[in-house]
Amino acid sequence: MGHRANLIIVRNHSYELYYSHWCANTLPKNIFWGEQYAIKFIEMQTKVDESGWLNDAWAEGGAILDADKKR
C-alpha cells in the first residue's frame, strides 16, 4: 500500500522529478504554505530520473511547482 506521487520542480527552463511513496493523500497540506515550503518538502523526497515517472495505474497524486513562472 502507499499513496504514490510524482513531484516536479521547474527551474531555469528544466525540471527535476521526485517520487514519494506516501504523500499523494497529504499533498494539499504539504504544499499549501507557499513556494519556499513546497520546494523544501519536494526536495526531501526521492529524486528520480525519467524512468521514475509513475504511470496512471500507480500514480495517485502529483504536483508541479514552476519556480520560473511563480506558479
- Give residue-wise pLDDT tens across range 2-58: 899 999 999 999 999 999 999 999 999 999 999 999 999 999 999 999 999 999 899
pLDDT at 48: 98
Query: What's residue 62's pLDDT?
Result: 96
**In the prediction, which pLDDT does 70 show?**
87
Compute the distance between CA of residue 20 and CA of residue 29 in angstroms, rounded to an integer.
15
Element (H, E) at 66: strand 61-66
pTM of the model: 0.91
Whether pLDDT at 64 is above 90:
yes
Write down the domain spans for the chain. 5-66
